[in-house]
Amino acid sequence: MAADSEIPPQSLLQAASQTDAAFQKIPIIDVSNATNPDPAIRHQLANQVRDACINVGFFYVKGHGIPEEDITNAVEAGKKFFELSADQKLEFDSRKSSNFKGYTALLSENNDPNGRGDLHEGFDFGPEGNDENSQGEKNAMSGANVWPTKYVPEFRDSVLSYYREAIRLGRSLFPLFALALDLPENYFEDKTKEAAAIMRVLHYPPQTGPHDDRVVGIGAHTDFECFTILWQQPNIQALQVLNADKEWINATPIEGTLVINLGDQFARWTNDIFKSTVHRAINRTGVERYSMPLFFGTDYNVKLEAIPSCVSPERPAKYEVVTAGEYVRARLQAAYGH
């Protein structure tokens, strides 16, 4: 470890106490050096990640290495599925699953308690072969997937190709987050042995005519897991991030990038030093929009307890200790209403 690139002790707490100004811009970070053999380069990159996590909770990544073909194939398969009839799509209704896998219809979710439903439809899945997970059916991150193969034969292979690439990217980010927290690079390795990641393919119809903020694409919320890897459709502005001044900042799609945003698991672990930032999506562009978020969390029984470097007498632990799986399941039940 290069001494001149280490994060000094207590710098996390000091930095957290100096974040009064509301951000106006989401940073762009080149992560092509995430696995560079030079530790000084990795630390330099981790410092950029740390600043984004403490000040914004969102950042774009370029140099992520996911082939454009995998993105295109997954999106096209999703479009074909959403073009099916309502009856065909409901054959895969996630309400038939104990683990929230499959199709969710328009307005069947409500992420903002003040809202009247989210104006999107989605298809949710997780890692293949995880139905024999030792945690069994109680694990919201495991359980068998359902696939619309009889209607869209290429759907499974297309979305899983992108899913595997996004998992690779996510695993390369965990060591950077660890360094950003002044922890050993392998700190999260034993906490993410299983691919505790759920992916969604989402379709937002255009929201036209009279409207109010109680029905939007996805209502204001924070994500549940450690972080989200989001592909959003180019040239269509919908994603917005809430800053400390309660202003909505557009997370405009930038060609060649993905959006990374932190979730509640990291916020609880870091005692809110890393921000799990409120965000929403509103599609009032007059055209259809598609996106693909992958929510990367930790294994089910990992305890979300404050990291010691994120606690002090002046900043005591804010949250009760729960397991990652218990937290995610409770939040999913609230959003889906079951």
Tokens 């979730």 sit at which residue?
263
Average pLDDT, the chain: 86
pLDDT at 5 over 60: no
Amino acid letter, residue 207: Q
- Surface-to-core class of residue 10, CB atoms within 10 Å of its CB (0-12 exposed, 13-18 middle, 19+ buried): exposed
Q: What is the CA radius of gyration of the chain?
A: 19
pLDDT value at position 50? 94
Rounded mean pLDDT, 219-230? 92
Cβ partners under 8 Å of residue 153, min gap 6: none
Cα separation, 259 vs 302, in Å, equals 25
What residue ranges define each of the domains in the chain, with the CATH number in brackets?
21-337 (2.60.120.330)
Q: Which of the two residues, 150 and 16, has the higher pLDDT score? A: 150
Structure tokens at 248: 């909505």
pLDDT value at position 15? 67
Structure tokens at 7: 């994060």
pLDDT at 136 over 60: no
Say which DSSP state 191 is in: G
pLDDT value at position 321? 93
Cα separation, 274 vs 306, in Å, equals 11
Cα separation, 233 vs 253, in Å, equals 7
Amino acid letter, residue 175: P
pLDDT value at position 2? 37
Contact 251, 286 (CB under 8 A): no
pLDDT at 211 over 70: no
pLDDT value at position 1? 35
Residues 137-161: pLDDT tens digits?
A: 445 556 789 999 999 999 999 999 9
Cα separation, 37 vs 9, in Å, equals 24
